[in-house]
Structure 1
């Protein structure tokens, strides 16, 4: 399990590093990918899938080593995973799988996107936090924090790209609707 933990941690550091690079150098961004079937597209998705798969497997292998009562794990963690999936998949359905995967698409500002510019990421963060509680694993929790960090950084990498695609419409949307929830801007 230690090897899986280390490999997953390295993957998450690389994913987060690519996102930070994309924020710092938007003209050379890795995410969102400049086009479909580019090395950026494949590398980001491969590393993301492997890192999130790793944090799930670490949680399974170290299941409840914190000894949390099932009455906490399942209702709280399970509920968060269900709610997170509902949010994330409703956002995917509204935006489209292609656009969710990093392709240019229409600016969506209604439905869930009327309340948050990133409802899918709120859902993904909720799923990962739910998994941290459900797995009750001290090995999985830091990996979950790394996964959550990726979803907190990603909008900052996407916003310059969205502004270049949609111009004033996106700038107006950004002024009206919060990035996650709460404060706009």
Structure 2
């Protein structure tokens, strides 16, 4: 059973879980933002585009974007010059957009809670792994580029 749970411990699964909670909140206690339908869709689209661009940059550098795998390159340009974790930032934008679109403003604290979970379950280990592989280059990059934005 532990093997199945380990394979399910992935950021998209966490995103889906937080989104499901937000969807339920929007159904049970709707609180809409005027114009929120369009704003929510726009945030989801921006998040998906950011996610695609960030993943494409990693693929172009022949390194992995899969959590808990060893990187073969340190990507620091493009969207990675703005954020050390643009895919996780994209996930947070998608979640925020869904909550707004689903009239689940009461569930807005789910976004920072999701970010804390992702930082603790994935980012800390990833940063340690990257630091072990790239040393001074990683530390210089981390000093000039914020974790989220």
Does the pair score TM above 0.5?
Answer: yes
Q: Is the 8 A contact 1:81 1:127 kept in 2?
A: yes
Structure 2 counterpart SS, 1:100 = coil
Q: Show structure 2 runs of 5+ residues with no match.
A: none
TM-score (norm 2): 0.74
**CA distances 1:80-134 after superposition (whole Å, capped 9, x unpaired):** 1111111112111111397111222211111111222111121111111112212
The alpha-carbon deviation at position 156 of structure 1 amounts to 2.7
Which residue does the alignment assign to 2:70? 104
**1:179 equivalent in alignment to 2:142:** no
Contact 2:44-2:98 at 8 Å conserved across structures: yes
Is residue 26–residue 99 contact of structure 2 (8 Å, CA) maintained in 1? no
1:26-68 C-alpha deviation (Å, 9 max, x unpaired): xxxxxxxxxxxxx5xx644414454433333444455453241
5+ long unaligned stretches in structure 1? 1-38
Is residue 68 of structure 1 aligned with residue 35 of structure 2?
no
Contact conserved, 1:117 with 1:179, CA < 8 A, in 2?
Answer: yes
Q: Shift of the alpha carbon at 1:142?
A: 5.0
Normalising by structure 1, report the TM-score: 0.62
- CA RMSD after TM alignment: 2.9
Q: Report the secondary structure of 2:76's partner residue.
A: coil
For 1:164, the equivalent position in structure 2 comes to: 132
Count residues with an aligned counterpart.
141
Cα distance, 1:140 vs structure 2: 5.0
Are the equivalent residues in 2 in contact too, given 1:56–1:140 (CA < 8 A)? no
Structure with higher RCO (Cα < 8 A, 6+ apart): 2
1:129 aligns to 2:96 (yes or no): yes
Which stretch of the first structure deviates more once superposed, 77-86 or 55-64?
55-64
Structure 1 residue corresponding to 2:46, chosen from 67, 80, 83: 83
Partner of 1:21: none
Tell me, what secondary structure is at the counterpart of 1:173? helix
